[in-house]
Chain A
């Protein structure tokens, strides 16, 4: 085997490897990219049905109800809000240890035809002062939180706040 032919083989193989890797990545991207949507995004434009996405916001205070599903499984419902809008989330499973009312949460799931978001995963972070960056971003967009003014205001007040008017943080400065 000449050197030239060997080089050709190697190039061919490399092209094959790179090509298949790219093709695989692109096809997998097409079906599996998970977008983040805030409740306001959903109110503005309903996401395509049957497609999984991540919904994030604050757990609205007083909205958590726990019941038994028809199949004997514990079923939790709560509202995720970013101020102007809220989406009801239904989740069957054990909630993370740090799930609390008024805290930032990110859920993964699909929006049902009844407008209820069926979550397959609920993520609450390991730190009680932690705010998921997507949620923080969504809150800033709705004008409910000016990060310079201090910590985010308590979630219970969010649905009654006027959008566009950033309230002063709890620090008051």
Chain B
């Protein structure tokens, strides 16, 4: 009964979405106030319907309803309840429901908080969002219905892939999807602006928070996914340039560019066409990511479904939304007249450079990700493009980006001179040079990590210099505190996000110095890595909720001092006859001690040890970046009520 209700709710949401498309587009075109006023309640209706369908699916998983095919394939009664819930979106079908739910949430937010938007713009945005929702709801109902029944019901489910039974999985997809889908809103705003032929500062004020929010969630999602791969897959790495990782990086890069160019639209009313283009691009990359992951054209860790029918459907959606968007862009972009004029050397110029470099990196990553697919189709040659390609192709573009990142916030709008900026940044440059030389002195001739440390210190130093300059810390130290309190949160957020990137690069540079060791140890034997002694004291069998494990105990000593005890294990899941390795990680914040248990032989065990300097800072840096985004989002000026605040101030002045 409940699954049928969910199925019905999905169909209802589809019907409502189609109604919304007609209502919003037609109403806005004919300036029918009553039709436009109806879009907000309909958006709420879509949200309620999709939410109900989602809850029905969660209920099916929680009650382990084995008549539902999706539950049978992805769940088992012995699974802990958290993974029963997260199992809802672990499968292809469930994750599409989550996708649509978040889209409906975004629509609801635009409807709920957007009462101060021009009603035609709001109606069009809601209509475009509903069109996207209709596409994906149609996809779910036509090719991947999560409520399909099986009869006769099997005794129990087949269980969830053990790799996915992890708290990381519970949060990684929702965060990523919040990011992906958030760009659907900026896309809808871009389409609405193209239909209206008008982009102004108010539009920029609306688009920026959405871009910022989507980007922050995407940052968190990617960082969480990277961390999860680091501790769960047990390879000791954090980023593999896997096609699916790239699929999430592409919208991140485009969104990062969008976020910055939206500032220019808001402040200076320049770069309008470009910002609209980026908004289309960011969502295009999100859809491309969805296509790559969901169609099974790529073989990767994430490829669950190999179904050509689904691939064709998503490809068609991709074609409609991207092709349609860019066609509209080609047709209407000329109507968007730029007003702000600026010199090449200015804040705007720096932001253009930022956009250019970010887009170049995105282009390189895109080519590297898609080329193997084309080579297979066109040249009949099986090729893979690995990390060496991405490292050599993207790092030369990232270096000037980080260099310019320090200068950008120091330059005034419209026209700037380079000397005053250099004057305020010389100590950050000195810091970077110091880091570079120190790394070379300590670690020998390792140019990559040394450059990484220099870049990290430069980014952090420049962010600090930016804040110090804005609060006049050195020129008028007494007033600094009050100025710091008066500084808009957007400025704090920007500096924090830039510093966060610096912290992340610090972690990456540290990982460049990582060392590892592979040893066959018998109980009582020891090996050393990076000055620490690892002694295997024993291996025992441990039972778990739905697995049994062989667990090794390693005592880590620094001289005579016991640093920690590491317990890596190897779990055998009885339900689907799989084994996974659980790495044991101890972090000192300066470095991670990382141990993986390999196979057992001759009474001993093969142990792989990693010493990863500064590793935790990679993900902490990501979190700081997202925090900076959040802080910037809480700024009064970009909050959704911004236009009314402006009106209130104008009223007070009168």
Question: What is the interface of chain A, defined by CB distance below 8 A to chain B?
Answer: 1, 3, 6, 9-10, 13-14, 16-18, 20-21, 24-25, 27-29, 31-36, 54, 66, 68, 72-74, 92-95, 97-98, 108, 126-128, 132-134, 137
Q: CB of B545 within 8 A of chain A? A: no
Given contacts A29-B371, A36-B382, 13 further A-B contacts (CB under 8 A): A1-B341, A3-B341, A6-B342, A24-B393, A27-B393, A28-B389, A28-B392, A34-B385, A68-B520, A94-B518, A97-B579, A97-B581, A128-B577
Q: CB of B229 within 8 A of chain A? A: no
Chain A hits for B394, CB < 8 A? 24
- Residues 434-464 of chain B: 1 if any A CB is under 8 Å from the residue's CB, otherwise 0? 0000000000000000000000000000000
A92 touches B518 (CB 8 A): yes
Chain B hits for A36, CB < 8 A? 382-384
- A133-B393 contact given A24-B364, A94-B599, CB 8 Å threshold: no
11 interchain pairs (CB within 8 A)? A6-B344, A13-B356, A24-B396, A28-B389, A33-B385, A35-B383, A54-B382, A68-B520, A73-B518, A95-B598, A126-B301
Give bound CA distance, A20 to B382, whole Å.
27
Give bound CA distance, A10 to B341, whole Å.
12
User: Which residues B506-528 have CB closer than 8 A to chain A?
Assistant: 518-520
- A25-B518 contact given A13-B352, A93-B608, A134-B382, CB 8 Å threshold: no
Residues of B in contact, count (CB < 8 Å): 49
A14 touches B356 (CB 8 A): yes
Q: Which of A1, A10, A13, A97 has the most CB of B within 10 A?
A: A97
B518 touches A21 (CB 8 A): no
Chain A nearest CB from B169 CB (Å) reads 13
- Residues 242-258 of chain B: 1 if any A CB is under 8 Å from the residue's CB, otherwise 0? 00000000000000000
Q: CB of B36 within 8 A of chain A? A: no
Q: CB of B360 within 8 A of chain A? A: yes
Chain A hits for B520, CB < 8 A? 68, 72-74
Chain A hits for B341, CB < 8 A? 1, 3, 6
Chain A nearest CB from B164 CB (Å) reads 9
B397 touches A20 (CB 8 A): yes
A25 touches B599 (CB 8 A): no
A137 touches B393 (CB 8 A): no
- Residues 383-423 of chain B: 1 if any A CB is under 8 Å from the residue's CB, otherwise 0? 11110111011101100000000000000000000000000
Give bound CA distance, A134 to B382, whole Å.
7
B577 touches A94 (CB 8 A): no
B607 — nearest CB in chain A belongs to which residue? A94
Give bound CA distance, A72 to B527, whole Å.
11
